[in-house]
Amino acid sequence: MTAFLQQVARKLIAEHGTALRDVAVVLPSQRAGLYLRKWLAEEAGSPLWSPQVFTIGTFMEERSGLRSLAVEELLFEGYEAYRSVEGANAQVFGEFLQWAGTTLADISEADAHLVPLESYYRDLRSWEEIEWTFNNDPLSQGQQRMVRFWVLVGLMHTALNTRLLGQGAGTTGLIERTAATRAVSEGRQWKAVWFAGLNALTPAQEALFRRFREADLARIAWDIDEYYFADTVQEAGQHLRKAVGAFGPGLIPMSNHLAEGRLQLRTIRAPNNASQAWCAAEILKNDSAEDRARTAVVLADESLLQPLLEALPTDIGPLNITMGLPVSRLAIGSYLEALHRLHAGMRPGTGFFHADVERLLGHPFLRVGPIAAAGAQVLAQLRKNGSAHISSPMLRDFFEVSGGFPGAALVFKEVLDVRTEMPEITAQALAWAMHAMDGDELATEQIYQASLVLRKIHLLMVRYAHVLDIKSYSALFHRLLGSARIGLFGEPLAGVQVMGMLEARALDPARVIVLGAQEGSLPAGGAEKSFIPFELRRAHGMPLRDGNDAVQAYNFLRMLQRAEEAVLVWPEGAEPTGPSRFILQLEHELFKGKNERLKAFDARIRMPQVKAATVRIAKDAAVLEAVRAKLRSGLSPSALGDWLRCPLDFHFKHVMGLKQVEEVDTRIAANTLGEALHGAVEATYRPWLGKPLQASWLLGAEQEVEEELLLRLAETLSAEGLQHGQPLLQVRMAVHAAQRFLHNEADVVARGAVITPLALEVPLTSPLDQAALAIGSPVSFKGRIDRVDRCNAMVRILDLKSGKVDPAHLSIPELTLDVLKGDKRYAAQLLVYAWLYLKQHPEVDELQTGILPLQRAASSEPLLMQWPEGNIVKRTSLPKIEELLTEVVLRMMDPTTPIEHDPKSKYCSFCLGAR
């Protein structure tokens, strides 16, 4: 099957011979130009001058005499035009950036579509006034703002074009408008200009076509298949039907390969997003070198490039990748985001947020190499300091003492002038990362690309003296970083070719493997970014969403047009979007009733599993002695709960004594707030010990419980810190919970319940003789009960919880160790509290045990533990409980059972992979 560009090469040689120096060829992409030259060389069979190859964009620049501005430069020029219109009322640059991108795109699009600007902006102003026309109400403030906005944009459009033309530059649209109006006799002269494989022409491009055709210089070659061209329902042919109607059928005959060709189609449903890459790698792994050389891997979802590079076999042979790795998605992106977030959160007189400092120092770039220890030392000092805010001088002192990277202290400099100081700070941060990652080639390339972005921004800020705040600087930096790519190299005409959908235009690989063939990626989803109302876009002939879908449909079918084999891979589990509509169209239209040409498969790809390190502790003599020492000192109900949830976490926490590093935050730590709330409730109830509660006492204590809470929090936190932000909200919520609890208990008393507090914060301890006899050393349990009371003659031991509790977790259907594991640990703790109290108080024959959840707004009544004997624990049940606790001790001391993580536990403090 003859490739399209091979046919173009034959036509060029047939008309011009080998004298192609004065011929221009306009193609969809530069990559297509490379393949055209290859076909010209093969068809000519001898040396020849190459024609000058353009893309439609570079050809428009050539014809207009204008250069295209980079996005960042256009933003600054746009702001200059905006300021010239608005004068003293102009927004600062940072506010301008919020709407500039979409507005500049709309301006460019209007020029590319040759829209008459005066009537265009008049229509936009009138659009906002239409509603006012049909009623007597004045324009709303929003409508007035939009009218003023369109007046502003119209003036800004004219001012911007004037500025750019004066510099010999332009937006894409202005370049096309200028090229469309320029006479063919102006500029460089060619014997012929070939337009080959183009689609979806703008009005400006159509105008340029006409000028060259009128001068008898245009040669047009459409790349069309009858399947989507003749059927007007097929959206893929929408733009070409219009183009052929305007300029004729072209020099290359229309093909009918899709309907009559040999295309064999396979659709593969992969388990998830990443497995698509391994699916492609598995196909290529089993191929011969010849089959790989005729294969193109096309990424409809470009985020699959990295997974694909990791999945490809090392012996893949020649490989060429036309795409680059997006720098912003690599580690350098998160590193610079952490840096800018650090400075955006800095407050004069207060300093940096501790969490922001931790985020930067904890970045992977700074946690390796010889200077990592210095950063860890500073982190340890900051955590020891415990302040939620850290001043710049303190940080600089820490780093100067630590002996790490010499410029690290400058990264934490307090910024007074963003324009002059942030580039310096960013440069120091990049140098710090470079020093830490010395020898890592990928990291070095990332840092180099970021330094290029930094240089661009520095030059722009020198050229345009705009005032920037840190948020504007960060937004601009990451906008530029988002367009930076790490280039990948290879042999462009040999081996497997990896490319995006746009790079595949006009090429004809024999086999195509498309990854990301799901709805949302093929066609690409997302809302169109434009301020122009739909109806006005349609009235002025500007692109609509269906036109964009038509372009993507053409690119897809064009890619399959001359292929012999196509593999379309889409993920099942990544998004609930399903396969691309293009796949469904092929199944129900082109391949309907042709099962021999279309096969659907489910992939079961073996992906390499990265297993978390398995920690298993054998119970040797030393470990058993450590456990024995813990049992001898006393096992608390909460420690028992930790063992029931995960033996390994229990061992780390209670036997080895590991402590969690407390995160310093602007918020009040949950344990700090919980302890203060417990203390406030205890202090409120203590004067009522031994007395039946009165509703009036409880209602009158609402102010007291608030004062007690604040008094306890002030012991560890500054009074000023409790008056602002998240801490203030936390305090108000805690006060509300405590007061609500008092109010609810007053309601219970008012309804006739007799509740007498007997004790608060009661320490309990008791030996477990049965277990001690079994292991040959003392065993005891100990705990502290928050509250003991008598309610209508029934003794209750209650544990206050400031968090939420699920009542189902307090129900024990069967008194066995296996039942108590997992989410029943709270019930087990209550059972131990009941056993301890009954052992220490022989005068009590029965009791109830439960939890008082302070966040339970509807009631202050406790959530009672339920077990096979109901909600009452009797003295006669103590032997059963002791047997259960003895079994726990024997399991702990069983030398044949190693200590390991329970995979059902999701909230371990120390187990790897469990959090």
Residue 542 sits in a domain whose CATH number is 3.40.50.300
Question: How many domains are contained in the chain?
Answer: 5
Percent of the chain past pLDDT 70, that is, above it, reads 94
Q: What is the distance between the alpha carbons of residues 830 and 854, in angstroms, rounded to a whole number? A: 17
Structural domain contains residue 913: no
pLDDT in tens, 871-914: 999 999 999 999 999 999 999 999 999 999 988 887 788 886 44
Residue 631 has pLDDT above 90, yes or no: yes
Structural domain contains residue 748: yes
**pTM (2 decimals)?**
0.75
- CA distances in angstroms from 369 to 360, 398, 444, 578, listed in the order given: 16, 19, 14, 45
Instruction: Assess whether 475 and 352 both reside in one domain.
Output: yes
Structural domain contains residue 914: no
Query: Bridge partners of 218?
Result: 193
Q: Tell me which range, 211-215, 493-497, 902-906, is most confidently predicted by mean pLDDT.
A: 211-215
Q: State residue 720's pLDDT score.
A: 64
DSSP string covering 452-500, please?
A: HHHHHHHHHHHHS-----HHHHHHHHHHHHHH-EEE----TTSSEEEEE
Structural domain contains residue 908: no
Instruction: Assess whether 861 and 875 both reside in one domain.
Output: yes
Entry field: residues in the chain: 915
Instruction: Assess whether 483 and 498 both reside in one domain.
Output: no
Q: What is the distance between the alpha carbons of residues 799 and 851, in angstroms, rounded to a whole number? A: 5
Q: Do 509 and 295 form a contact (C-beta atoms < 8 A)?
A: yes
Which residues span the domain enclosing 561?
262-323+494-602
Residue 210 has pLDDT above 60, yes or no: yes
Task: Enumerate residues 6+ apart whose C-beta is below 8 A from 261.
Answer: 1, 562, 564
Among 378-382, 543-547, 770-774, which is the least confidently predicted range? 378-382
Structural domain contains residue 665: yes
Instruction: Assess whether 717 and 854 both reside in one domain.
Output: yes
Question: b/e map of 257-277 (b: 16 or more CB within 10 Å)?
Answer: bbeebebebbbbbbbebbbbb
Q: Which of 292, 81, 297, 303 is nearest to 171 (CA)?
A: 81
Q: Do 411 and 428 form a contact (C-beta atoms < 8 A)?
A: yes
Instruction: Assess whether 467 and 524 both reside in one domain.
Output: no
Structure tokens belonging to residue 126: 């009138």
pLDDT in tens, 739-756: 888 988 899 999 999 999
Q: Angle, nearest 10°, between helix axes 238-247 and 203-214? A: 30
**Exposed/middle/buried for 843, CB within 10 Å: 0-12, 13-18, 19+?**
exposed
Structural domain contains residue 10: yes
Output the CA angle 88-89-92, nearest 5 degrees.
95
Task: Enumerate residues 6+ apart whose C-beta is below 8 A from 701.
Answer: 684, 742
End-of-domain residue from the set 257, 289, 311: 257
How is residue 253 annotated by DSSP? Answer: P
End-of-domain residue from the set 574, 602, 630: 602
pLDDT in tens, 239-277: 999 999 999 999 999 999 999 888 999 999 998 888 999
Structural domain contains residue 45: yes
pLDDT in tens, 92-142: 888 899 999 999 999 999 999 999 999 999 988 888 666 555 556 666 777
Mean pLDDT, to the nearest integer, of 340-346?
A: 92
How is residue 65 annotated by DSSP? Answer: T
Q: Do 37 and 50 form a contact (C-beta atoms < 8 A)?
A: yes
pLDDT in tens, 826-881: 899 999 999 999 999 999 999 999 998 876 656 668 899 999 999 999 999 999 99
Instruction: Assess whether 590 and 704 both reside in one domain.
Output: no
Residue 574 has pLDDT above 50, yes or no: no
Instruction: Assess whether 193 and 340 both reside in one domain.
Output: no
Structure tokens belonging to residue 348: 């004069």
Question: Can you tell me whether residue 365 is helix, strand or coil?
Answer: helix
Question: Can you tell me whether residue 911 is helix, strand or coil?
Answer: coil
Structural domain contains residue 680: yes
- For residue 787, the domain's CATH number is 3.90.320
Instruction: Assess whether 808 and 668 both reside in one domain.
Output: yes
Instruction: Assess whether 730 and 864 both reside in one domain.
Output: yes
Instruction: Assess whether 198 and 288 both reside in one domain.
Output: no
Instruction: Assess whether 745 and 766 both reside in one domain.
Output: yes
Query: Bridge partners of 124?
Result: none
Q: What is the distance between the alpha carbons of residues 189 and 344, in angstroms, rounded to a whole number? A: 54
Q: What is the distance between the alpha carbons of residues 241 and 9, in angstroms, rounded to a whole number? A: 24
End-of-domain residue from the set 487, 505, 521: 487
Q: What is the distance between the alpha carbons of residues 768 and 599, in angstroms, rounded to a whole number? A: 69
Mean pLDDT, to the nearest integer, of 398-415?
A: 82
> Mean of the per-residue pLDDT values for the chain?
89
Instruction: Assess whether 77 and 59 both reside in one domain.
Output: no
Residue 610 has pLDDT above 60, yes or no: no
